[in-house]
Amino acid sequence: MRIVMLGDIVGACGRQSVQQLIPEIHEKFKPDVLLANVENVANGSGLTPDQYRRLFDAGVDGMTMGDHALRKREIYKILQEKSNIIRPGNLPAGAPGKGSMAIEPRNTSLPPVYVIIVLGNMFMGLNANDPVASVDTLLAQIPRKDATIIVEMHAETTSEKQAMGWHLNGRVSAVLGSHTHVPTADAGILPSTKIGARRTAFQADLGMCGGHESVIGRRIEPVLSHLRTGVYMAFDVADKDPRINGVCLDVDQTTGSATAIERFVLHANPQKPPFMV
């Protein structure tokens, strides 16, 4: 089974880049499931129902959301009702939505892919529960222990994401980090914990989809001005040098063991649709 997961989609530029490049993703990687983090689509913070539908229609099979999941109240109904979008599983119990999902692959002969997302605790500033205990609870609810399981760790520090990777090593197919928008160069398969254990792929951060002539997706000038003066500035979303970052993951669908992980970057053309419509 082959799974492609994209890093945080930032603003209209990120969404349009993904829409334009999904055919190239399918031609190049031929994924059975395509996943993406969509929490920054709405001008850098949140997601609207229209944006959800556009990404789904473009071919994003499953969507995850992090610390900006609840920024737009209009998305709450979709978080509650749709089976292909999740928010962090360690938010308080009263939060709308759910923390895990099962995505059916395009090849209907393959078993479902289970996806979980949790927030880190370090420097995140949210009232989230312990991510380690929460991910263990969510894993216990998955009916098949040999299932293909992807855990996304949406966290500020690489150390906390690495710690989650080691905590889940041998128990899930992959632990993939998000949130910091800068791809890390550590994509690989963790050492096996014991003979016969499943292999777990890991990358501390997937990067982002959007304008890369930027500071993590925001226009450079306002960020520099704020850093130099302390004066509040509106951090508008950047739109130059559009790219998408992600990973292509191969999993043995009979054991849930990762067999390969490849980090990639693709460049969008802002002179072609959907940019020029």
| DSSP H helices in the chain | 11-29, 49-58, 76-81, 131-140, 158-168, 220-229
Backbone angle region of 7, left / alpha / beta, with phi > 0 → left and psi within -120 to 50 → alpha: beta
Of 68, 154, 181, 212, the active-site residue reads 68
Q: Are 173 and 148 in contact (CB under 8 A)?
A: yes
Q: Are 19 and 274 in contact (CB under 8 A)?
A: yes
- Judging by DSSP bridges, how do beta strands 85-86 and 100-103 pair with one another? unpaired
User: Is 68 tagged catalytic?
Assistant: yes
How far apart (Å, rounded) are the C-alpha atoms in residues 267 and 243? 4
Catalytic residue numbers read: 68
